[in-house]
């Protein structure tokens, strides 16, 4: 009797070992009995009948990703490679459909994606493909989800992760982009140059205005000083002609003194006699009268022509 007990103990342990199994989190196990579907077991400690039931498959319930690279042509006859990333998940209540109704789910999802992309992209020009890649992704997810949901596959998201035109097309696009940027840079440089010229002209005009104002103020002060000098000399009993001659000769000697203080200056000595001031004054007066006469003649001539 004692010799049989170990046998039953070993047998019991072997049955427990063959019957018990553990299912990991986010995993479903399909049990078949004599080749026929029996049940779906989820996470935790599970049991099956040894030698009768078997584990047919372990199905992951995690979100999975399938990357599909597709070559297609756009509306403007540009060949482009698109990388589509499809994120999908098997529904817990449709593990049977996902396992038994699809022979190769990834290939079938890939076929759907190829069909959808090659139906959408040829309707767009290349620029629209870049701008509307989110619309392409939404269309893929919508159509793919409608097709795969009946088989237990929930399409979580579809992403257009890469758009890669032909190398010559990319080079042409880069040249266009570079030319556009150079054009904008040239426009900015032209605007800056124009602003610089305008501001320089404004500064020069302001400088000339201030210079003219300074000359006018200087002449006004000189005239006022001359007027005061003449009045002072008149009050001293000197007549206006003599006073003017005295002022002219004084300015003459002041000029000679200023020239003498400069190095490498050329000095021209005018005739120096008692009547030199009167002569210079008479010459200046005659010159002014002649200039006024010529100006009046030119005005009259212009008047007659009109």
Q: What pTM does this model have?
A: 0.53
Q: How many domains does the chain have?
A: 2
pLDDT of residue 153: 93
Residue 140 lies in a domain: yes
The mean pLDDT value for 178-191 works out to: 78
pLDDT of residue 2: 47
Among candidate residues 165, 193, 218, the one where a domain is terminated:
165
pLDDT of residue 119: 87
Q: What is the pLDDT of residues 202-247, one digit of tens each?
A: 888 888 788 877 777 776 776 677 667 767 766 766 666 666 666 6
Residue 45 lies in a domain: yes
Residue 130 lies in a domain: yes
53 and 83 housed in the same domain:
no
What is the rounded CA–CA span in Å between residue 221 and residue 100? 113
Specify the DSSP element, H or E, that contains 9. Answer: helix 5-19
pLDDT of residue 262: 65
Tokens of 9: 């103990």
pLDDT of residue 1: 44
Residue 103 lies in a domain: yes
The mean pLDDT value for 1-30 works out to: 76
Residue 47 lies in a domain: yes
Between residues 252 and 181, which one has the greater pLDDT? 181
Q: What is the pLDDT of residues 94-135, one digit of tens each?
A: 999 999 988 888 898 999 899 888 888 888 888 888 888 888
Among candidate residues 116, 131, 165, the one where a domain is terminated:
165
Domain range for 100: 64-165
85 and 24 housed in the same domain:
no
pLDDT band at 287 (very low <50, low <70, confident <90, very high): low
Rounded-to-5 percentages of helix, strand, coil across the chain: 60, 20, 20
pLDDT of residue 304: 61
**Helices 240-260 and 276-305, axial angle in degrees (round to 10):** 100
53 and 118 housed in the same domain:
no
Helix, coil or strand: residue 83: strand
Residue 245 lies in a domain: no
Query: Looking at the chain, how many residues does it have?
Result: 306
């Amino acid at each position: 009797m004692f010799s049989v007990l170990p046998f039953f103990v070993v047998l019991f342990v072997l049955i427990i070992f063959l019957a018990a199994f553990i299912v990991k989190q986010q995993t479903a196990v399909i049990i078949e009995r004599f080749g026929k579907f029996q049940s779906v077991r989820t996470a935790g400690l599970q049991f099956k009948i040894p030698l009768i039931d078997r584990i047919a498959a372990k199905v992951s319930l995690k979100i999975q990703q399938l990357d599909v690279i597709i070559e297609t042509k756009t509306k403007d006859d540009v060949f482009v490679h698109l990388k589509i990333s499809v994120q999908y998940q098997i529904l817990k209540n449709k593990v049977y459909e996902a396992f038994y109704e699809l022979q190769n789910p990834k290939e079938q999802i890939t076929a759907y994606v190829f069909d959808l992309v090659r139906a959408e992209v040829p309707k767009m020009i290349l620029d629209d493909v870049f701008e509307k890649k989110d619309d392409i992704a939404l269309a893929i997810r919508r159509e793919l989800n409608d097709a795969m949901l009946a088989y237990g596959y929930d399409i979580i998201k579809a992403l257009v992760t890469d758009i890669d035109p032909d190398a010559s097309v990319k080079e042409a696009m880069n040249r266009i982009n570079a030319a556009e940027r150079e054009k904008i840079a040239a426009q900015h440089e032209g605007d800056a140059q124009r602003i610089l010229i305008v501001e320089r002209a404004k500064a020069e005009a302001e400088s000339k205005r201030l210079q003219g104002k300074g000359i006018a103020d200087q002449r006004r002060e000189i005239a006022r000083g001359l007027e005061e000098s003449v009045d002072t000399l008149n009050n001293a009993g000197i007549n206006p002609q003599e006073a003017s001659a005295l002022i002219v000769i004084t300015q003459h000697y002041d000029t000679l003194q200023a020239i003498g203080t400069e190095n490498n200056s050329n000095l021209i000595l005018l005739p120096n006699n008692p009547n030199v001031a009167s002569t210079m004054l008479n010459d200046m007066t005659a010159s002014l009268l002649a200039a006024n006469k010529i100006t009046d003649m030119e005005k009259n001539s212009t008047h007659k022509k009109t």
